């Protein structure tokens, strides 16, 4: 074959589509119960949006963004994450006018140039939620509750919610100084990326995946020891609300998140059992982001998760999701006149939302009934010479063998029988 799929991408095949539909439907149902509305943003934005929001020194910007220049020389990037585009849309469309609170969710593909491995792709699909307009720690807990309830309602058991606070811009400065003092003696042992991070964003060293850097970072100072009083109180309140909601969590002071815009609460949901890439979802507060990209100082909090790792986790626990649906009815015609009679009604049956299959290439009764069984159809709708004369059709339950003749004019009784499974 001349062409193949790009590395790090995959096809969602027809037999897998129902699983995706189920995950998306359950997500929509839950977030809308919390009052969140869907927002859809373009899959590409100005590259500068991600440079300003994610940070020029972040791996996302430096190594992972898919950039391109258009015919007018403008620099764009395929979106590597969903929060910055939502924040841009919020400001550009003046969503701050009227209600000061905005509850938004999104679904769709993101793009990062990264080494493909299980649960990590170059085009991947995310679900995400953003709350914009309040610094109340209740909303941190509300978003965590949405994520936790979504994952547990799907049946997952091996989950662990990890919680941290990365502080505000004020106390983060003291923490960065403490990290630089700690890492200074080890500077020559750090990887080249971490040596650069040392000056710009020393906390990024804590997120490095290089073994030597991870070993050195084990005894580094933690942000929780450097929180100022407002940040301590905020973190304490988030924990209080989570306890009220009966959502279990553990404190992990090593969570830093990979993007510059995070402040205060940071969290991840970990699944044990799918290898190194075991974070199903994560997020936190980003109170400075909207001001950073040209808006007012408006607080916000959000999270995002990947469907790929979620599917891996569901498979690991052998949780069954819907497969391709089976036809309610398979049309069986004997002769040209029968075909001419049923085709207009087949259209009507499908318009009523009934899944009906028909294969006119199969001529014999035996071949068509065999096809109906292969499709695992519930009914066969048989039209032969007698039915043509009577303008009727024989509905046969392929499991019980029970059958009944129904008129085609009107067809309402037949449709009702299929929908209500009267046979």
Tens-place pLDDT, residues 124-169: 999 999 999 999 999 999 999 999 999 999 999 999 999 999 998 8
Rg of the chain over CA atoms, in angstroms? 28
- Predicted confidence at residue 157, as pLDDT, reads 94
Beta pairing class for 123-132 and 300-306: antiparallel
Q: Are 394 and 373 in contact (CB under 8 A)?
A: no
Tens-place pLDDT, residues 185-226: 888 888 988 888 888 888 888 878 788 888 888 889 988 999
- Predicted confidence at residue 56, as pLDDT, reads 58
Q: Which of 53, 59, 64 is nearest to 88 (CA)?
A: 53
**Kind plus residue range of the DSSP H or E element containing 46:** strand 44-46
* Local confidence band at 119 (pLDDT 50, 70, 90 cut-offs): confident
Tens-place pLDDT, residues 340-397: 999 999 999 999 999 999 999 998 999 999 999 999 999 999 999 999 999 999 999 9
Set out the domains of the chain in order of their start, with CATH numbers: 17-168+228-316 (3.30.930.10), 329-420 (3.40.50.800)
- Predicted confidence at residue 158, as pLDDT, reads 93
pLDDT greater than 60 at residue 57 = no
- Residues β-bridged to residue 357: 330
- Predicted confidence at residue 8, as pLDDT, reads 95
Lowest mean pLDDT among 53-57, 82-86, 316-320, 335-339: 53-57
Tokens of 215: 């070993």
- Predicted confidence at residue 378, as pLDDT, reads 97
* Local confidence band at 276 (pLDDT 50, 70, 90 cut-offs): low
Sheet strands (E) in 147-191: 159-165
Q: Are 303 and 147 in contact (CB under 8 A)?
A: yes
Contacts of 279 (CB under 8 A, 6+ apart): 268, 269, 270, 271, 309
pLDDT greater than 90 at residue 313 = yes
Distance CA 256, CA 252 (A): 10
Whole-Å CA distances, 202 to 12, 100, 184, 192, 211: 40, 35, 10, 13, 17
SS3 content of the chain, % helix, strand, coil (to 5): 40, 20, 35
- Predicted confidence at residue 55, as pLDDT, reads 60
pLDDT greater than 90 at residue 270 = yes
In three state form, how does the secondary structure of 287-309 look? CCHHHHCCCCCCCEEEEEEEHHH
Distance CA 303, CA 285 (A): 9
Preceding amide of 332 cis, omega within 30: no
Tens-place pLDDT, residues 89-105: 999 999 988 777 999 99
Mean pLDDT of 246-264: 84
* Local confidence band at 170 (pLDDT 50, 70, 90 cut-offs): confident
């Amino acid at each position: 074959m001349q062409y193949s799929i790009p590395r790090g991408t995959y096809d969602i095949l027809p037999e897998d589509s129902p699983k995706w539909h189920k995950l998306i439907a359950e997500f929509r149902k839950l977030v809308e119960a919390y009052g969140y509305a869907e927002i859809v943003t373009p899959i590409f934005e100005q590259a500068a949006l991600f440079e300003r929001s994610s940070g020029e020194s972040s791996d996302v910007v430096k190594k992972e963004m898919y950039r391109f220049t258009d015919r007018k020389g403008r620099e764009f990037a395929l979106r590597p994450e969903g929060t910055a585009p939502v924040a841009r849309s919020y400001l550009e469309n003046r969503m701050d006018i009227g209600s000061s609170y905005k509850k938004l969710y999104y679904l769709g593909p993101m793009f990062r140039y990264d080494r493909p491995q299980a649960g990590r792709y170059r085009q991947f699909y995310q679900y995400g939620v953003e709350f914009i307009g309040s610094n109340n720690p209740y909303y941190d807990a509300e978003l965590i509750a949405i994520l936790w309830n979504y994952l547990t309602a799907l049946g997952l058991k091996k989950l662990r919610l990890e919680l941290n606070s990365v502080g505000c811009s004020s106390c983060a400065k003291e923490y960065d100084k403490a990290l630089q003092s700690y890492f200074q003696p080890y500077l020559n042992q750090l990887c080249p990326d971490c040596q650069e991070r040392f000056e710009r964003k020393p906390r990024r060293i804590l997120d490095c995946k290089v073994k030597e850097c991870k070993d050195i970072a084990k005894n580094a100072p933690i942000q929780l020891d450097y929180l100022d009083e407002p940040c301590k109180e905020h973190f304490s309140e988030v924990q209080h609300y989570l306890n009220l909601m009966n959502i279990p969590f553990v404190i992990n002071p090593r969570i830093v998140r990979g993007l510059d815009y995070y402040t205060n609460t940071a969290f991840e949901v970990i699944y044990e059992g799918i290898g190194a890439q075991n974070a199903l979802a994560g997020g936190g507060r980003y109170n400075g982001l909207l001001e950073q990209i040209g808006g007012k100082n408006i607080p916000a909090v959000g999270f995002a998760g990947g469907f790929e790792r979620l599917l891996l986790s569901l498979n690991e626990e052998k949780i069954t999701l819907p497969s391709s649906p089976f036809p309610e009815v398979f049309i069986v015609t004997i002769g040209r006149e029968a075909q001419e009679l049923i085709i207009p009604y087949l259209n009507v049956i499908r318009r009523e939302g009934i899944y009906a299959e028909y294969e006119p290439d199969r001529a014999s009764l035996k071949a068509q009934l065999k096809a109906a069984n292969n499709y695992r159809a519930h009914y066969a709708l048989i039209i032969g010479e007698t039915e043509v004369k009577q303008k009727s059709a024989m509905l046969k339950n392929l499991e019980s063998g029970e059958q009944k003749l129904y008129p085609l004019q009107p067809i309402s009784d037949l449709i009702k029988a299929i929908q209500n499974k009267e046979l």
